[in-house]
Amino acid sequence: MTHSSTARANIVGFLAILALSALTMVWLFWHHPIKTLVATIAVLAALGLCARWARSIEPDAGSELRQGNQSI
């Protein structure tokens, strides 16, 4: 029973953090639309660059896992 209540508490906590994040973003966008838009685009561009750089560093990581040659 404690496992299900812990899982339920984790889900409620996750939803509360998600709602707080969404409300913060809406409030920022309502009060500072241009700054929020520029910051959002900058963060998304940075995440996109990081993903591209990660793929360029390990271009054949997926093929090694499919062949079963896992090295740590």
Higher-confidence residue of 17 and 57: namely: 17
Is 71 inside any structural domain? no
Query: For residue range 30-55, what is the model confidence (pLDDT) as tens digits?
Result: 999 999 999 999 999 999 999 999 98
> How many degrees, rounded to 5, is the angle at CA 45 between CA 41 and CA 48?
140
Q: Which domain holds residue 51?
A: 32-64
Per the structure, the count of domains in the chain is 2
Q: Are residues 4 and 27 in the same domain?
A: yes
25 within some domain = yes
CA distances from 57 to 3, 21, 41, 71 (A): 40, 32, 24, 16
Residue 43 lies in a domain: yes
- Does residue 70 lie in a domain region? no
Each residue of 50-71: pLDDT tens digit?
Answer: 999 998 888 665 555 555 555 5
Q: Is residue 11 part of a domain?
A: yes
Residue 7 lies in a domain: yes
| N-term to C-term CA, the chain | 38
- Other Cβ atoms closer than 10 A to 19: 10
